[in-house]
Amino acid sequence: MRNILDLDRYPLDREGSAEWHALVDQSVAELEKNGMYNLEGFLRPAFVQQAVAEIRPIMDTNSYTHKRVHNIYFKPDIPELGAGHPALRKVETINHTVCADQLQDSIVRQIYEYEPLIRFLAATMNKAALHVMQDPLARVNVMSYRDGEALNWHFDRSEFTTTLLLQAPEQGGVFEYRTNLRSDDNPNYDGVAKVLEGQDPEVQQLNVRPGNLNVFRGKNTAHRVTPVEGKLDRMIAVFSYYEKPGVMFSAEEQLGFYGRTAA
């Protein structure tokens, strides 16, 4: 794994060392301040290209096109809001997904299952332990956004999201986010409406580069990826880890996200 990941800069394989603790402390501080942290150049450039080359034939011929009109909550309604409330404005998301069972022996899957990475992520998230997802489709996905396509405004269901950018588009495809837009005690529907209307000055942008590992606290931070422009698609791997082992999607969830079930 040392040839694939820049473990000189990011000493995940030296757990417990002073360098390892320094990286954990720095990541925790960034997570508290910004709601995310980035490990720039985590995946070495040559292996960024190799990862894309491994996935490209599957992405171009056998990926699932996921197209959905949704609100920021991915729910049909919110009981305390009227159907016309601006916080329920409809937006559209389009992407193309390669599932975990299509990524056997790939670089992306090797990184996802790399135990020192999992232990490092747990330390930065203040978790006793994290586990890979058992779901054979959902545990690790690679998603592609092509010209005119976007991941629109939403909140994540999970507390943290871990992604690895593999390819950036020519233009567009910018990650936008509004940190701590809501809390468990305050849904802040009026604030959500301002974000959707483009009227929140606290929305920030982040240009992630290929090879960057990003850990993002997305449960209460609204975020989106702006529409991609140009011939190059935006390609990103999404890693799913949980505090409990054995997590699976329901057959209904698998069908909704991937157009098929594991069965």
- Which pLDDT belongs to residue 263? 76
Average pLDDT of span 153-181: 94
- State percent of the chain over pLDDT 70: 100
pLDDT class of 90 with cuts at 50, 70, 90: very high
Does the pLDDT value for residue 86 go beyond 90?
yes
Average pLDDT for 143-168: 95
The answer to whether 172 and 219 are in contact (CB under 8 A) is no
Interval 132-136 mean pLDDT: 96
Phi then psi dihedrals of residue 190, to 5 deg = -65, -40
Mean pLDDT of 227-243: 96
Q: Could you report the per-residue pLDDT of 220-232, keeping only the tens digit for each?
A: 999 999 999 999 9
Is the domain defined by 18-258 classed in CATH 1.20.1290.10?
no
